[in-house]
Amino acid sequence: MPNYNKNKGKKFETKIANIVDKHCNRLIKTNAINELRVKRSPFSGIAKDEQGDVDLGIFREYLPNLVIECKKWNRLNFNNNIFKVLNEVKRIWQQYKEMYGDKDVVLVFEANRGKPYALTNIQLQLPNICYNNLYLYEFEQFIEKYIQIQMKK
C-alpha cells in the first residue's frame, strides 16, 4: 500500500509540474531545451536545499521566489467539514513556510478525482477563499496569474 500511495504522489507532482510548464512556456519566452523545462523534482521530499516538489528548470531565473509543494490526499473530503480541511492544509503550509522562509510558498493539494487547489499567503485578484490570512485558489488560475505578475516586475 505505501508504494501505491507514493506513486500517486509522484503522479500528482508530475501533473502539477506539467501545468506549471504549460503556463511558463506560454507566458515566458525562452529558447530553453526540454531538459531545462519544468518537471517533478527528482529529489522531492528528500533534499534539504531543494526548492520544492516542482523543479522550475530554466524558469527559476524568472520565478526565483516560487516554491511549490504538493500533497495528494486519499481521504480528503470537502463534503465533511471544510474548516477541518482548511485547518489541516494551513498546518502543513505553515511547516513549509517555516522551512522556506521568505519564499512564495504554495501548497498544492487535491483529493481523489478532484481539482488541484493552491493555498498560499499571496493575495491575487482572483476568486478565492480567505482563511486566517491565507488564500485558497484553483491552482491553474493561480499559477497563470502569478506568472503574469512576476513577468511585469
Q: What is the pLDDT of residues 62-90, one digit of tens each?
A: 999 999 999 987 766 666 678 888 898 99
Q: What is the pLDDT of residue 95?
A: 95
pLDDT confidence of residue 1: 44
DSSP letters, 12-39, are: HHHHHHHHHHHHHHHHS-----GGGS-E
- Beta-strand pair 39-40/54-55: antiparallel
pLDDT computed for residue 45 by the predictor: 61
- Output the nine-digit C-alpha cell for 152: 511585469
* Residues in the chain with pLDDT values less than 70: 1-5, 32-35, 43-50, 75-80
pLDDT for position 19: 97
3-state secondary structure of 113: coil
Residue with cell 473530503: 77
